[in-house]
A and B are shown apart, each in its own frame.
Chain A
Amino acid sequence: MSWPLLHAQDISAGYGAGAILRDLSLSLNPAKVIGVIGRNGAGKSTLLRTLVGELPIDAGQLLFENTDISKMPAFVRSRIGIHLTPQDNVVFNAMTVFDNFVVGANENADVTAALNLFPNIALRRDVAAGRLSGGERKLLAFARSAFRPDKKLWLIDEPTEGVQAENISIMADIIRARPAEQSVLIAEQNITLLLSVADEVITIDSGIITGIISGSGLTRENLVRALAL
């Protein structure tokens, strides 16, 4: 019997008064890269933050490897392999770049390899992460997430904000070189990155999934058109 890595059934979630996600259902298979696009305010970040457990689910059910994780707190979800690279506040500002990598790493982790993923970051090894520029902080957060070997589902929220093109293509290489079974759900506006890594792109609007683009349909024109609707 095989089941999807992650299955969300009619989940609703949001902040305080208003629900942002409304009865959203979604299935993710292992070893896939799924892009999430949608106009701003559509609920992309909310979806990722809900899946990782940062926001509680108001209704519906969330299954991970066929286990109900709807009520599981975020730190336990992290242990079973769900990992989020958030959009903002991405690094520990007071720690050095190197220490940022060491936090949360297990003993088998190759910190030096992770440090060397981006040349800018390697150069800044002993600088406090708060002194990095906005783009460099995003790179650090991405690299730190990338080298965590134990994750099964990697959720990435807008990794390319403020990042130059060379580094975006390094990000794409890293995603493609991930362990075989790992799945990635990436909310991104950069179509260039999505086209180079995604197996499938889902479009979301007002908290529901409005379409799935995959296979030969995955072209710049189609993605731009989907975003314009």
Chain B
Amino acid sequence: MMMIRGNSNKTLKMAAKSLVCVLVVLALVYVLPTFQKYQLSQLLIYAIACLGIHLCWGRAGILPLGQAAFFGAGAYSFGLLLKGNASDIFTASLLFLFSVIAIALVAFLIAAMILRRQVGPSPQFAIITLALTILFGQIALSWSSVTGGFNGLLIPVISGVDPFSDAFFVVICGVTLVCYTIARWVGGTPLGRLWMAAADDELRVQLFGFATHLLKAICFAIGAGFAAIAGGLFALHQGLVTPQNSGFVFSAELLIWTALGGRKHPSGAIIGAILAGVLSLALRDKIIWWELIVASLFILVVLKFPGGIAGGFLTLISRYKGNSGNQEVQPIRPPADEVDKATLAREITVQKVTVDAGPVRIIDNLSLDIKPGVTQCIIGPNGAGKTSLFNAMTGMMPPRSGDIIAGTKSLNTVPAWHLQRFGVQRKFQTPRIFVSLTIRENLWIAMWSKHLQRRDYLSHAPLKWHLDIIDDAAQIFDFLRYPDMQAEELSAGERQQLELVMIHLCAPTILLLDEPCAGLSPRETAMVADFILTQQKQSGATCVIIEHDMALVSKLAARVIVLHRGKLLAEGTWQAIQKNAEVRAVYAGGIK
């Protein structure tokens, strides 16, 4: 019953919002003089391109310096298609759609190719998009037989389409609202949250099993599609496209407007484009140093309101209203996971592995016999190669020679996002979580790692998923009782615990835990140890733990492996290791 009421409430709200939008557009149609409607149309067209920047930059953390190239591509290709074909509205609409989809596809391919080779925030991609813009602008200028060169491309008139008509203005308003709604909606779906997570820590998202380069390429393609829509509408609006509309300066302007309005929220793109446009139309000719004032305003916003106008406004509202929090929803169990059980492994072996970092040999012809289905600790002096071993096992430091084998398959060349298929999960020494998401969203992403299927990426059902482990963990870790808190507010120790809970949500069969209790008090250490042991008993996973606290080692480990200078020094039961003279010579061990 609760759910039904919630849904009908939502539908009612949606209907009310749509009604308000329709009324505002109608009011504008009646109030504004024709020429101002024409000018406003142009600003709304820019706003659509800015919405694409919001998605790329505000959500996925990709800085798109080449938005103007796609804007120009949209305008020129639509214009050229119109030239060679009949010009009734129906055909024109089909051609328009065709050009937008083609440009989005090209953008997807470019992004997927480039992003595949790099993890994390990369200036390279921004620079490549910048190069694309410059290249495109140059082609538009030089290939004058097709593009009209410096004078631009005249757009053929479509019968019945008049950019000064009310109908044209209404269509532009409609398209802007549709694009805004798409941007806003996709931001709230699992896909949108994964973009934000990837912007925070892409490798962590990959280790949860997501091919982030494809997710980011999808974002880039939608952004490019928005730019192409804006470009096509711009061609109709102006009747002319010039190389300026695809140049670097225009790219920078779009970026600045989005930053001014607030890149994190779709309304920011629209506010920025309209505000910058209106101000410049109203004041450009009246004030001599207009550009200087715009520049100062931009610097002020970036320094004082990094969230832009929309960001600042939303902060004010949330302060005034208090944190409304998420609506309580009926939690549901995720569907049975689709992971191919055949690839899941409990056996992981290290065979004659050597790892170098530059001139330094970190792991030296190391073979390890890791017992499946039990917990074991790796100890050893600082710099013995413990974390590097985990790096080698998770593809972050590919071995120079030797093999790391999970089940029957070598992990040496397996990309990070495939490790989840083998059941391999890792907790990092310095905790890696998604700080710009809430605790709840962090937990979602971990849950999705195993259960999210292709159709779920745009569904809201995964936002209700819940696993019992979260309840078990909340008994021990207090902060989990405040799921709407930003993960950024967590202390270092709480971040450790959150990451630990997150990796357990993926039902791993091979767990690599790098100092899971660093920075915790002896009591908290004991609580974390209990959690690890309880989970291990239930799952029967293979568990490898790097640890320095001997109280913890003796509690956790059925077996202890001692590394020293990249080699195996000893292995055996805790009692045997304690008595081992060779170990005692290099590593005394202590307690917290």
Flag whether A107 is at the interface (Cβ < 8 A).
Answer: no
Flag whether B415 is at the interface (Cβ < 8 A).
Answer: no
Contacts of B525 in A (CB 8 A): 189
Complex: how many Å from CA A188 to CA B592?
10
- Do A161 and B360 touch (CB < 8 A)? no
**B485-514 vs A: 1/0 string, CB under 8 Å?**
000111111100100000000000000001
Per a CB cutoff under 8 Å, which of A16, A39, A132, A158 touches B492? A158
- Do B524 and A87 touch (CB < 8 A)? no
- Nearest B-chain residue to A132, judged by Cβ: B383
- Do A162 and B548 touch (CB < 8 A)? yes
Flag whether B386 is at the interface (Cβ < 8 A).
Answer: yes
Flag whether A227 is at the interface (Cβ < 8 A).
Answer: yes
- Do B522 and A40 touch (CB < 8 A)? no
Contacts of B589 in A (CB 8 A): 164-165
- Nearest A-chain residue to B323, judged by Cβ: A17
- Do A168 and B590 touch (CB < 8 A)? yes
- Do A37 and B521 touch (CB < 8 A)? yes
**A152-169 vs B: 1/0 string, CB under 8 Å?**
000000100111111111
Contacts of B298 in A (CB 8 A): none
- Do B491 and A45 touch (CB < 8 A)? yes
Flag whether B382 is at the interface (Cβ < 8 A).
Answer: yes
Flag whether A120 is at the interface (Cβ < 8 A).
Answer: yes
A104: min CB distance to chain B, Å: 23
Complex: how many Å from CA A17 to CA B479?
17
Per a CB cutoff under 8 Å, which of A133, A164, A224 touches B523? A224
- Do A189 and B592 touch (CB < 8 A)? yes
Flag whether B518 is at the interface (Cβ < 8 A).
Answer: yes
- Do B358 and A40 touch (CB < 8 A)? no
Contacts of A16 in B (CB 8 A): 488-489
Complex: how many Å from CA A128 to CA B357?
10
The verdict on A87 contacting B590 (CB below 8 Å), with A164-B381, A164-B382 known, is no
The verdict on A134 contacting B430 (CB below 8 Å), with A39-B524, A139-B382, A189-B519 known, is yes
Flag whether B388 is at the interface (Cβ < 8 A).
Answer: yes
- Do B489 and A40 touch (CB < 8 A)? no
Per a CB cutoff under 8 Å, which of A120, A136, A161, A167 touches B519? A161
B421: min CB distance to chain A, Å: 28
Flag whether B465 is at the interface (Cβ < 8 A).
Answer: no
- Do B489 and A167 touch (CB < 8 A)? no
The verdict on A162 contacting B429 (CB below 8 Å), with A15-B489, A120-B382, A133-B388 known, is yes
Flag whether A190 is at the interface (Cβ < 8 A).
Answer: yes
A89: min CB distance to chain B, Å: 9
Contacts of A120 in B (CB 8 A): 381-383
Flag whether B405 is at the interface (Cβ < 8 A).
Answer: no
A200: min CB distance to chain B, Å: 18
Flag whether A18 is at the interface (Cβ < 8 A).
Answer: yes
The verdict on A165 contacting B592 (CB below 8 Å), with A39-B524, A228-B523 known, is no
- Do A227 and B522 touch (CB < 8 A)? yes
- Do A40 and B491 touch (CB < 8 A)? yes
Chain B contact patch, size range: 35 or more
Complex: how many Å from CA A38 to CA B525?
13
- Nearest A-chain residue to B548, judged by Cβ: A164
Flag whether B578 is at the interface (Cβ < 8 A).
Answer: no
Contacts of B588 in A (CB 8 A): 164-166
Flag whether A41 is at the interface (Cβ < 8 A).
Answer: yes
Flag whether B202 is at the interface (Cβ < 8 A).
Answer: no
The verdict on A128 contacting B388 (CB below 8 Å), with A40-B519, A166-B381, A189-B520 known, is no
- Do A127 and B360 touch (CB < 8 A)? yes
The verdict on A166 contacting B383 (CB below 8 Å), with A37-B521, A39-B521, A134-B430 known, is no
**B7-39 vs A: 1/0 string, CB under 8 Å?**
000000000000000000000000000000000
A21: min CB distance to chain B, Å: 13
- Nearest B-chain residue to A130, judged by Cβ: B357
Flag whether A192 is at the interface (Cβ < 8 A).
Answer: yes
Complex: how many Å from CA A16 to CA B289?
36
- Do A128 and B590 touch (CB < 8 A)? no
Flag whether A68 is at the interface (Cβ < 8 A).
Answer: no
A49: min CB distance to chain B, Å: 12
Flag whether B591 is at the interface (Cβ < 8 A).
Answer: yes
Complex: how many Å from CA A118 to CA B524?
29
A110: min CB distance to chain B, Å: 23
Q: Which of A124, A136, A164 is packed against the most chain B CB atoms within 10 Å?
A: A164
- Do B519 and A87 touch (CB < 8 A)? yes
- Do A133 and B383 touch (CB < 8 A)? yes
- Do B382 and A41 touch (CB < 8 A)? no
- Do B522 and A133 touch (CB < 8 A)? no
Flag whether B515 is at the interface (Cβ < 8 A).
Answer: yes
- Nearest A-chain residue to B488, judged by Cβ: A15
Flag whether A176 is at the interface (Cβ < 8 A).
Answer: no
Contacts of B410 in A (CB 8 A): none
Contacts of A132 in B (CB 8 A): 383
Contacts of B457 in A (CB 8 A): none
- Do B383 and A40 touch (CB < 8 A)? no
Contacts of A164 in B (CB 8 A): 380-382, 548, 587-590
The verdict on A40 contacting B521 (CB below 8 Å), with A15-B488, A133-B382, A191-B592 known, is yes
Complex: how many Å from CA A166 to CA B522?
19
State which residues 173-213 of A face B: CB under 8 Å: 189-192
Complex: how many Å from CA A168 to CA B386?
18
Contacts of A162 in B (CB 8 A): 382, 429, 515, 518, 548
Complex: how many Å from CA A167 to CA B492?
22
Per a CB cutoff under 8 Å, which of B382, B492, B515 touches A136? B382
Per a CB cutoff under 8 Å, which of B382, B385, B388, B521 touches A227? B521
**B144-170 vs A: 1/0 string, CB under 8 Å?**
000000000000000000000000000
Flag whether B554 is at the interface (Cβ < 8 A).
Answer: no
Flag whether B387 is at the interface (Cβ < 8 A).
Answer: yes
A40: min CB distance to chain B, Å: 3
Per a CB cutoff under 8 Å, which of B380, B490, B494, B519 touches A158? B519
- Do B592 and A190 touch (CB < 8 A)? yes
Complex: how many Å from CA A167 to CA B590?
10
B591: min CB distance to chain A, Å: 6
State which residues 43-65 of B face A: CB under 8 Å: none
Flag whether A58 is at the interface (Cβ < 8 A).
Answer: no
- Do A41 and B491 touch (CB < 8 A)? yes
- Do A18 and B489 touch (CB < 8 A)? yes
- Do B519 and A135 touch (CB < 8 A)? no
- Do A41 and B479 touch (CB < 8 A)? yes
Per a CB cutoff under 8 Å, which of B358, B494, B515 touches A161? B515
B424: min CB distance to chain A, Å: 20
- Nearest A-chain residue to B388, judged by Cβ: A133
Flag whether A54 is at the interface (Cβ < 8 A).
Answer: no
Per a CB cutoff under 8 Å, which of A17, A133, A139, A189 touches B521? A189
Contacts of B519 in A (CB 8 A): 40, 87, 158, 161, 189
3 residue pairs, one from A and one from B, having the closest CB atoms:
A40-B493, A165-B590, A135-B382
Chain B residues proximal to chain A, CB less than 8 Å: 357-358, 360, 380-388, 429-430, 479, 488-494, 497, 514-515, 518-525, 548, 550, 587-592
Some 16 contacts from A to B, beta carbons below 8 A apart, are A17-B489, A37-B521, A40-B521, A41-B493, A87-B492, A124-B383, A132-B383, A133-B382, A135-B383, A135-B548, A158-B519, A161-B519, A162-B518, A164-B380, A164-B590, A189-B521
Known: A41-B491, A120-B383. 13 other contacts (CB 8 A): A16-B488, A17-B489, A40-B491, A40-B497, A87-B519, A120-B382, A131-B358, A162-B518, A165-B588, A165-B589, A167-B382, A191-B592, A224-B523
